[in-house]
Structure 1
Amino acid sequence: MGRIEYYNDPKAPKPNSLVVACNLLVTDDSGAILLQRRRDTGQWALPGGAMDLGETAAECAVRECREETGIIAEITGFLGVYSNPNHIVAYTDGEIRQQYENCYIGRPVSGKPTINDEADGVAFVRPEDLDQYDIHASMRQQIAHFLSGNYPYLG
């Protein structure tokens, strides 16, 4: 399923759903950040996705990281709540979702970067190399909060 992201765009369609999603910002011992290149948009992003019934937000973040990157991580902190009503994601099935993401901080425990059905690229990226990657503004905001130490973000 394809999607189009709108960010502070007055032409964005009106949302018809709100889904809790959870991201995990994972850094390795060198400080490199785990990113995945989404097959649906071609942009690099933190691993994350929709929460399933019966799991906690933290469990969701860890599961999504494992599924999307092949990395099994543990949570070490909380980055923030990101609920910008001007960040709209329109899916090809007709769902138009307003952003709502809980973002956790973590470290890798095991596994290796692995591509899959959702990600055609997975890499640990050094902070000084981030500008070489096409990263959506919402993901850049989360990464910037982490790198600045300006968290938890409660927006």
Structure 2
Amino acid sequence: MGRTEYYHDPDAPKANTLIPASNLLVVDEDGAILLQRRRDTGQWALPGGAQDIGETAAQCAVRECLEETGIVAYTDGEIRQQYETTYIGRPVGGEPTVNDEADGVRFVPPADLDRYDIHPSMRRQIGDYLAGTYPRLD
């Protein structure tokens, strides 16, 4: 399913769906941040996605991170406004792997983030964490 992302775009189509979503900003022991390259946009992002009925936002963040890793227009006509919650986590096991939604997954040191094409909304969340706006795991 293709999609177009709009971020602070006054010409974006009006949303017809509101989707609660959660991200998991995973930081390893060296301070590197887990990113995935999305197959649908080609951009690097935090693992995350839409919340399922019956799960909490935190459960959604963990589930989405295990499964994969603005306003979004899908080719089926859905125009969604996402409401995202981002949680901070640490890896507890496993290795980053590609999947149906991500063709690249890796831990990226903060000093290397500028080398990656990261959507502005994700860049802001990562920037807030690095600036100390989010609670630190230290």
Report the TM-score range of the alignment, normalised by the length of the smaller protein.
over 0.9
For 2:79, the equivalent position in structure 1 comes to: 96
Alignment partner of 1:53 is 2:53:
yes
Distance 1:11 1:55 in 2: 34
Letter matched to residue 119 of structure 1: A
Q: 1:79-112 CA distances to partner (integer Å, 9 max, x unpaired)?
A: xxxxxxxx21101111101120010000000111
* SS class of match (1:20): strand
Q: Alpha-carbon deviation of 1:150? A: 1.3
Letter matched to residue 123 of structure 1: R
Q: 1:28-61 CA distances to partner (integer Å, 9 max, x unpaired)?
A: 0000000000000000000000011121111110
1:1-150 matches, cutoff 5 A:
1-69=1-69, 87-150=70-133
After the TM superposition, list the runs of 4 or more consecutive aligned residues in structure 1 that deviate by more than 4 angstroms.
Answer: none
Letter matched to residue 91 of structure 1: Y
- TM-score, structure 1 length as denominator? 0.85
Q: 1:96-148 CA distances to partner (integer Å, 9 max, x unpaired)?
A: 01120010000000111100000000000000000000000000000000001
How high is the sequence identity, in percent, across the aligned residues? 76
Distance 1:88 1:56 in 2: 22
Q: Give the number of equivalent residue pairs.
A: 135
- TM-score, structure 2 length as denominator? 0.95
* SS class of match (1:18): strand
Q: Alpha-carbon deviation of 1:18? A: 0.3
Structure 1: runs of 5+ lacking an equivalent: 70-86
* SS class of match (2:63): helix
Letter matched to residue 45 of structure 1: A
C-alpha RMSD of matched pairs (Å)? 1.0
* SS class of match (1:121): strand
